[in-house]
Amino acid sequence: MTGPVTRNLGDFSVNRVGFGAMRLAQRGTALIPDAVPRDRAEAITVLRKAVELGVDHIDTASFYFSPAHGANELIHDALAPYPDNLVIATKVGPRRDAAGGWLPQATPAQLRGEVERNLRELGLDTLDVVNLRQSGMDSVAEHFGVLAELRTAGLIRHLGLSNVKREHVAQAQEIAPVVCVQNSYGLGHRPQQDEFVRACAEQGIAYVPFFAIAGAGREAGAVQAEAEAVLTVAKEHDATPAQVRLAWALHQGPNVLVIPGTGDPGHLAENVAAGELRLSADDLELLAEVHRA
């Protein structure tokens, strides 16, 4: 069983299948300067369809943008005024210049500006969840401390971490509560994260894997032929391999939330339906061989 359909994210209760906005502004490989912008009307249609299907947790960032538009802008134009139950989580740390090139990670002094940028683009007075995405830091304490101050000031409701190790969570928890961890994780991808998922559950922290479908393919999407075990389980449940991968992730702990992203309405519906897919013990045993391989 995957557990309850909903899960706490801080003091919010959200459906376990959310929506990731990384691919919303661009087609193909995301987050590169010359990626092809997604059609605006298409992106807005997908966002509105997501909410119609029950998605109430959207993950975004100000650095998700193309030369034509940004994910935050699209979310605002499609959904504002926002439904009362919609939780929008964003992240700060990475930065891109106007042409899409990557800049050095935000310094502590730059974080307020990044938070205010997200507020402005989303048209909000308070951000529901802000994740600090770290890269190469031994300690997140100074950066997280700035975000904690902004939380106290009322600009942020909840704080999370992204791309982190267990010691980063411990450092942050000494400063302010951590409600979620976002890390790259999926079936056969980074099995060393298994214990981290359980550790987060013990602390009441939601674990939000990204690349739960793509795995090692990351932003480029799944790049390898699908494992035979995944195909077997998919056939047994009349499901797609992507649905099996999402369901597997949800089976890893009651604290797991998934945020698959897509610009295709059909794939969106399949992703949301994966939340209802119940894998048997035999299914999980078969898939465990893929995970450990």
Note the pLDDT tens digit of each residue in 269-290. 999 999 999 999 999 999 999 9
Using a cut of 0.85, tell me whether the model's pTM lies above it.
yes
How high is the pLDDT of residue 219? 47
d(CA 217, CA 40): 26
**Residue 220 in this model has a pLDDT that exceeds 50:** no
How high is the pLDDT of residue 14? 97
d(CA 42, CA 153): 37
d(CA 15, CA 5): 6
**Residue 244 in this model has a pLDDT that exceeds 80:** yes
- In Å, how far are 22, 29, 146, 147, 150 from 114, measured between CA atoms? 17, 24, 12, 10, 11
Give CA torsion, residues 203, 204, 210, 211, to 10 deg. Answer: 70
List residues with catalytic annotation: 64
Domains recognised in the chain with CATH numbers: 7-227+241-277 (3.20.20.100)
Answer whether 202's CB lies under 8 Å from 53's CB: no
d(CA 282, CA 285): 5
Q: Which residue reads 């109430």 in tokens?
A: 56
% of residues, the chain, pLDDT over 90: 85
How high is the pLDDT of residue 6? 79
How high is the pLDDT of residue 217? 47
Question: What amino acid is encoded at 108 in this protein?
Answer: P
